[in-house]
Each structure stands twice: as C-alpha cells, then as structure tokens.
C-alpha cells in the first residue's frame, strides 16, 4: 500500500482512513462554519465527538474519514481558515 506523509506529520495509508483531531477555534473564528465548508468542499465525513464552544473559543474533537489525500487537503483548508489543528496521538485507523 502506498503511504502519504501528511501535514500532520503522520503516515496515512492510501484508502479509507479515520483520523481523530482536536480543533481549536480562536474567538474571531468561533462563528464561522468551517466544518460545514469542509463537508461541502471535500470528500470526507466529519464526525464531531466532543465540543465545548463559548463566545471566546471553540474546542472540538472530531473524526475525519476519507481518502488520505482528501483528509490532508481538508486539514490544510481548516488551518488556512485560522483554526488550530492538533492530531490526537495514536488515533489513526485504516480500514
């Protein structure tokens, strides 16, 4: 199987993958529909596992499922929107 070294500094095997991430939204980004844009623009499924959102910040734990290249593109998009993306160690699964 072919591997891709993503911007998350992890090896993801090409094919369907699930990666768990923590997303931290700064105050000026809390009201932006970033995950909605991800679902509309990328071929990934986003599952929100936990969320704590206030007027000052948003902290979400999400699982992202899809092709490794598409996950990488979606993560880059989220980062470009000003949201901090942190991989949760040991949480990359391949099917």
What pLDDT, in 10s, does the model give residues 10-63?
A: 444 444 688 999 999 999 999 999 999 999 999 999 999 999 999 999 999 999
* pLDDT, tens digit, 9 for 90 and up, residues 57-83: 999 999 999 999 999 999 999 999 999
pLDDT of residue 17: 84
Quick one: pLDDT at residue 4?
44
Distance CA 81, CA 79 (A): 5
d(CA 29, CA 11): 29
Residue 52, domain extent: 3-94
CATH of the domain at 77: 3.30.70.260
pLDDT at 13: 41
- As for how many domains the chain has, the answer is 1
Contact 29, 59 (CB under 8 A): no
Tell me what pLDDT residue 89 has. Answer: 72
Instruction: Work out whether the CA dihedral 37, 38, 41, 45 comes out positive or negative.
Output: negative
Q: Which residue has the higher pLDDT, 92 or 52?
A: 52
């Amino acid at each position: 199987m072919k591997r891709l070294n993503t911007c998350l500094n992890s090896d993801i095997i090409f094919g369907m993958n699930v990666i768990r991430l923590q997303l931290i939204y700064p105050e000026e980004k809390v009201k932006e529909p970033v995950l909605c844009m991800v679902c509309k623009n990328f071929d990934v499924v986003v599952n929100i596992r936990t969320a704590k959102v206030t007027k000052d910040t948003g902290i979400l734990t999400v699982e992202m499922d899809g092709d490794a290249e598409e996950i990488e593109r979606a993560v880059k998009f989220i980062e470009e929107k000003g949201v901090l993306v942190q991989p949760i160690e040991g949480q990359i699964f391949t099917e």
